[in-house]
């Protein structure tokens, strides 16, 4: 992993004008010097968290509270797809963990990959994330096959996320109002899961943005991050002023990853 020098930080409040509802304000931390998109991910995460907090309050007001809680870790066995920038950030987070914690996480990565190999799922999964990431039917098949293997996220520690503050955007966007028991059989006939949808898919936008412009989505399964480390380290990302970069990202997300046909916090029944 390439060494990463600490950056100076500053605190600002961003105002996001939405097509429906009141303008959205969120305090975020940004580097105080030119940086890469991976360096402003803390700000993107803060915005995702603020959206989710607003969603929880909205659903509680409808007497349909979010049922996710600490210790409910069924979602930590799903196929989690990350953009390359988030993959790099995840590897950076791994390097900051104490040695014994790193060793446990690395062992879980290896154990998960071995289970994929034993199930002969690795080639299909690799093909899906490199060539078929927008093929919803194929992705759904891979999600089901991955779920059946019950591979826990390498960062799962005693039923809780071991890197909660740095967890991926897709994890931050995952919330249910259906009974927790439904999350244990998500692909079974007769199971109804009700998911809260944030107004913007920031995880999807982050997989298609390099800090300067949009590109074809570059995603990979979380479990493949260590395998792809050398590839990810060869990727060159623009070094830009953080505030305009965040503004460009939010404009891109609003234009291409907004749930325009739904109220700000609607629900989805898979």
| Rounded Cα–Cα distance for residues 35 and 109 (Å) | 29
The structure's pTM equals 0.89
How close are the terminal C-alpha atoms of the chain, in Å? 38
One digit per residue, pLDDT tens: the chain, 270 residues?
Answer: 444 556 688 999 988 877 666 788 889 999 999 999 999 999 999 999 998 888 888 888 889 899 888 878 889 999 999 999 999 999 999 999 999 999 999 999 999 999 999 999 999 998 888 777 778 888 889 999 999 999 999 999 998 999 999 999 999 998 889 988 888 898 888 888 888 888 889 999 999 999 999 888 888 999 999 998 998 888 889 999 999 999 999 999 988 888 754 444 454 444
pLDDT of residue 202: 95
| CA 269 to chain CA mean position, Å | 20
Domain ranges of the chain: 9-268
E strands, 41-139, where?
81-83
pLDDT of residue 114: 97
pLDDT of residue 4: 53
pLDDT of residue 132: 77
| Rounded Cα–Cα distance for residues 214 and 206 (Å) | 9
* 172 in Cβ contact with 200 (< 8 Å): no
100 CB neighbour count, 10 Å cutoff? 8
DSSP 251: H
Q: Where are the alpha helices (DSSP H) in 30-81?
A: 41-61
pLDDT of residue 7: 66
Q: Are strands 266-268 and 81-83 parallel, antiparallel or unpaired?
A: unpaired
**CA distances for 84 relative to 34, 80, 225, 228, 243, angstroms:** 20, 13, 9, 10, 21
pLDDT of residue 21: 66
E strands, the chain, where?
9-16, 24-31, 81-83, 156-157, 160-161, 195-197, 219-221, 266-268
Q: Residue 171: CA atoms inside 13 Å, Cβ hemisphere, count?
A: 26
Q: Would you report the helix, strand and coil content of the chain in percent, each value rounded to 5?
A: 45, 15, 40
pLDDT of residue 19: 64
pLDDT of residue 260: 54
């Amino acid at each position: 992993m390439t060494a990463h020098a600490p950056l100076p930080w500053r605190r600002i409040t961003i105002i996001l004008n939405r097509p429906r509802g009141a303008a959205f304000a969120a305090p975020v931390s940004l580097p105080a010097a030119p940086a890469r998109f991976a360096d402003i991910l803390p700000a993107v995460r803060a915005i995702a968290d603020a959206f989710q907090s607003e969603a929880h309050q909205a659903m509680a007001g409808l007497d349909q509270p979010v049922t996710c809680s600490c210790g409910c870790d069924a979602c930590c066995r799903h196929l989690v797809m990350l953009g390359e920038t988030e993959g790099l950030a995840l590897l950076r987070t791994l390097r900051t963990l104490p040695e014994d914690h790193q060793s446990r996480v690395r062992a879980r990565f290896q154990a998960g990959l071995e289970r994929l190999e034993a199930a002969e799922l690795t080639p299909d999964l690799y093909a899906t994330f490199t060539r078929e990431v927008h093929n919803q039917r194929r992705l759904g098949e891979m999600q089901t096959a991955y779920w059946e293997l019950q591979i826990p996220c390498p960062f799962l520690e005693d039923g809780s996320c071991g890197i909660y503050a740095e967890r991926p955007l897709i994890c931050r966007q995952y919330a249910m109002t259906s009974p927790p028991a439904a999350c244990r059989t998500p692909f079974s006939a007769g199971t109804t899961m009700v998911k809260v949808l944030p107004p913007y898919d920031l995880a999807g936008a982050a997989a298609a943005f390099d800090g300067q412009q949009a590109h074809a989505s570059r995603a990979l399964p979380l479990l493949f991050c260590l395998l792809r480390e050398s590839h990810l380290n060869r990727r060159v990302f623009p070094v830009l002023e953080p505030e305009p970069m965040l503004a460009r990202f939010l404009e891109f997300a609003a234009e291409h990853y907004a749930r325009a046909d739904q109220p700000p916090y609607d629900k989805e029944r898979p």
